Amino acid sequence: MSSVDLSTTLGNAWFPAPIFTASGCASSGRELSQFFELHSIGGVVTKSVMSKARHGRPTPRMAETPSGMLNSIGLQGPGIDAFLEKDIPFLLEKKARIIVSIAGETVEEYSTLARKLRGVSGISAIEVNISCPNVENRGLVFACDPEASRRVIDGVRRTIGGELPIIAKLSPDVTDLVHIAKGVVEAGADALALINTVLGMVINVETMRPQLANKTGGLSGPAIRPIAVRAIYQVHAALPKVPILGMGGVASGRDAFEMIIAGASGVSVGTASFGNPNAIPVIQNELRDLLAAKGFSSLREAIGYAHRIEVSDGE
Amino acid sequence: MSAINRNAQQIAAAVVSNKRVGQYHQLIVNIGDAANHCKPGNFVAINVGGDTSRMVLRRAFAISRVSANSISGGTMELIVAPYGQGSSWLCSQNEGAMLDVVVPLGTAFGIPTEPVQVLLVGGGYGSAPLFGLAEVLNARGCRVDMLLGASTASKIYAPMEGKRSVNSLRIYTEDGSMGQAGRVTDPIKALIDDMNIAVIYSCGPMAMLSAIDSLTRGTDVIHQCAVEESMACGIGICMTCVLPTMGSDGVISMLRSCIDGPVMDGETVLWDKVGKAL
């Protein structure tokens, strides 16, 4: 085994390894812990939790697409109280590092969720998922509106105080991602999660109607990886000091490495775990070997390496 | 909290044989010791298309039978209909091909502790896991009657050797091309009334399962059905394969058919709410 220092940081949170689950792609953590030790990876980003239990959307909830899939789950979940009572103790027992993802329908709901998390020990960071559909913005997404994005992050920051890192999860479905990223960082986000799924649709040509019950869904998988790499690269160029948790179609160590050199400090894996329950530890090992093969002694040296200034031969 | 899919493992498994049976393919796959953990009702999730495939999701297949002591080690039998790209790829895999398999997954059929009378109902290739189940029930001393149905003869899956473990087998096709003309659910009401059936086991299209539920609901007959919903992962993390259910406590929830199923108590499923918002 190669000796590469894989440790990384997101805000003031330190992680011994850089590969994480992606929010909404690891359920409670129990399901994947059958296949690998949760403490062996960077951490578990939990499914976005809301104030109350939710049934989510009707089926069909998914459609496979070329090198990807559409999903529309509708944030099915147990609600914050049951989540804190059942899921957090399990993850702590497994010695997993935990990033709790929260989602709200209103600015106030995000603050309420942050208040519930304030006193919970063992959490490394909070992911604020502002890139999910919501009611207050009439079916739009907070992360598509710079002002709404700011207000959510500002509310969470004020509630949570200065300790716990806030990771704002942004949508790629915007005209000026850098503008939105700057706004949430000014409002108090310590790090950014890039990218959430890309809005898409599949029409069933037999029924001649949209395949998903919700009509539209979020596209994930390798099909969106170039969009994610572009987003990470652009935001890292504009905000080089802000750590990025990169995600979007990572299925191999090579893909994770691509996101790291684009500017990500850590990488989340989602859809790849659907195809392979051991994807995360496999990707982490491949990344370690690739870093060593490229001559890096630490992950940190590789972050943003694709941005290095061209040095002419100069002789 | 008990572990989810406690015996599941990801293994590289060789295809032992691949035979065409009517409109289906019978695949025998060497899964080694994992065969000891497979029970009727369990399923497997298989990678399809090879390393460069654009199909990123596994395909789920019911295990129809396992043999723990065959010449080639523990094997499982799958009955696969080559309808989609993934299942067509699987049906094109020849002897010796290696498959990436996660096995066993999901809940199994509950087996009665007493030698009671049971009815097995299969629709299309949904009959496949019922033959392995029949063997287990037969060994338990149960009287096992079986009804199989499909739209047409070529979609009936009823292997000769499978018939040995059932006391009677009746076949129904909608076009009358095999057995009696009609639906497999037609005789169930009379059978419940005339015979002392304790459990109905069913596997097939959701409409068939729902129709059986309407006959057993409110009676003493237990309905154990293997449901099908399209799933992305098979291991409980994608949340796409949910079904609306009501527990004995009256609590309504969207349960995952991959880990809370595929075998469910038919009475817990809210059949009229499937595909609708709760």
pLDDT at position B205 over 80: yes
CATH number, residue A193: 3.20.20.70
* Domain total of chain A: 1
Tokens 């802000």 belong to residue: A242
What residue ranges define each of the domains in chain B, with the CATH number in brackets? 9-105 (2.40.30.10), 117-230 (3.40.50.80)
Helix or strand holding residue B26 (H, E): strand B24-30
Contact A34 B102 (CB under 8 A): no
pLDDT at residue A310 in the model: 78
Over its C-alpha atoms, chain A yields an Rg (Å, rounded) of: 19
Whole-structure pTM value:
0.94
Most A CBs within 10 Å, among B56, B103, B231, to test the A interface = B56
Q: CB A34 to CB B239 under 8 A? A: no
The distance in angstroms from the start CA to the end CA of chain A is 38
| Catalytic-labelled residue, pool A10, A25, A96, A132 | A132
The answer to the question of residue A312 being in a domain is no
Q: Is B12 on the interface with A (CB under 8 A)?
A: no
CA B158/CA A59 separation, integer angstroms? 31
Q: Is the dihedral of CA B110, B116, B122, B128 positive or negative?
A: positive
Closest in A55, A90, A274 to B237, CB measured: A274
Which structure tokens are listed for A198?
Answer: 């890309």
Q: Give residue B1's pLDDT band: very low, low, confident or very high (50, 70, 90).
A: very low
Residue A315 within a domain:
no
- State the average pLDDT over residues B160-165: 82
Whether A31 sits inside 8 A of B236 (CB atoms) is: yes
pLDDT > 90 fraction of chain B, expressed in percent and rounded: 86
pLDDT tens, A119-131?
A: 899 999 999 999 9
Q: Is the pLDDT of residue A138 over 80?
A: no
CA distance A80 to A87: 10
Q: Is B246 on the interface with A (CB under 8 A)?
A: no
CA distance A274 to chain B (A): 4
Q: Which member of A55, A66, A273 has the closest CB to residue B54?
A: A66
CB contact under 8 A, B253 and A55: yes
Comparing CB atoms, the residue among B237, B239, B252 nearest residue A273 is B237
Average pLDDT over residues A20-34: 94
Q: Would you state the pLDDT for residue A161?
A: 86
Residue B2 touches chain A, beta carbons under 8 Å: no
A37 CB within 8 Å of a chain B CB: no
Please indicate if any CB of chain A lies within 8 Å of the CB of B5.
yes
Confidence band (pLDDT; 50, 70, 90) for B4? confident
| Active-site residue flag, A132 | yes
- Whether A59 has its CB under 8 Å from any CB of chain B: the answer is yes
In this structure, is residue A181 part of a structural domain?
yes
Question: What pLDDT, on a 0 to 100 scale, did the predictor assign at position A63?
Answer: 96
Question: Which domain covers residue A25, as residue numbers?
Answer: 8-307
A26 touches chain B (CB under 8 A): yes
Is A3 part of a structural domain of the chain? no
CA distance A183 to A203: 36
pLDDT score at A313: 62
Contact: B56, A35; criterion CB under 8 Å: no
- DSSP H/E element including A313: none
Give B-chain residues touching A58 at CB under 8 angstroms: 275-278
User: Which has the minimum average pLDDT: A182-196, A212-226, A299-313?
Assistant: A299-313
| Cβ-defined contact of B232 to A222 (cutoff 8 Å) | no
Burial of A249 (0-12, 13-18, 19+ CB in 10 A): buried
The predicted complex's ipTM stands at 0.93
Helices and strands in chain B, H and E counts: 4, 16
- Is there a domain that residue A76 lies in? yes
Least CB–CB distance from B242: residue in A24, A59, A67:
A59
Within a domain: A273: yes
Question: Looking at the domain assignment, is residue A1 inside a domain?
Answer: no
**What residues contact B167, with CB distance under 8 A and at least 6 apart?**
B143, B144, B145
Tell me which residue in A30, A251, A277 faces B102 most closely, judged by beta carbons: A277
- Say if the Cβ atoms of A273 and B233 lie within 8 Å: yes
The mean pLDDT value for A46-67 works out to 95
Mean pLDDT confidence for A62-79: 95
- Residue A313: inside a domain: no
CA distance B196 to B200: 11
A210 touches A201 (CB < 8 A) = yes
Return the amino acid letter for B44. V
Contact A26 B237 (CB under 8 A): yes
Q: Which two tokens stand for residue A244?
A: 């990025």
